[in-house]
Structure 1
Amino acid sequence: MRTSVRQLAAATVVGLAALVPAVVLAAPHAQAATGPSGLWNFTVAAGSATVADLDGNPQNISLKGSWSRGTGYVSFNAAPAYGQANGSTFSPGDLEFAFGAVLRTNSLVAKSNPNVIQGGMGNDPAQFKIALQPVNGGTAICVLKGTKGYMVAKSTRTSLANGASHEVVCSRQSGSISIAVDGYVNTYALSPGTIRLTSGRPLYVGGKGSTTTWTDQFRGQLDCAGVVSGAGARAALMAKMPC
Structure 2
Amino acid sequence: MKKNIGKLILFVFLFLGMLTYAQQKKKFADIPNLLQRIIPDDRVDFWVLVYNTYGKDREIKTSGGKKDYTPQFSGFDIFPDEDSFYYIVYSSAGKTNYVTDLEGLKKFIGKVDNVEEAAIAATIEGYMVDEEFKDIAGNYYEDGSNYYLDLGKLTSKECPYQKTHYTLTVNKSTGAITSVKDNGTYIELYYKKCKNNPRLLKIEKKEEPKDEPKKPAKSTPRK
**TM-score range, shorter-chain basis?**
under 0.3
The higher-RCO structure (CA 8 Å, 6+ apart) is 1
Q: Whose strand proportion is higher, 1 or 2?
A: 1
TM-score, length-normalised on structure 1?
A: 0.22
Q: Whose helix proportion is higher, 1 or 2?
A: 2
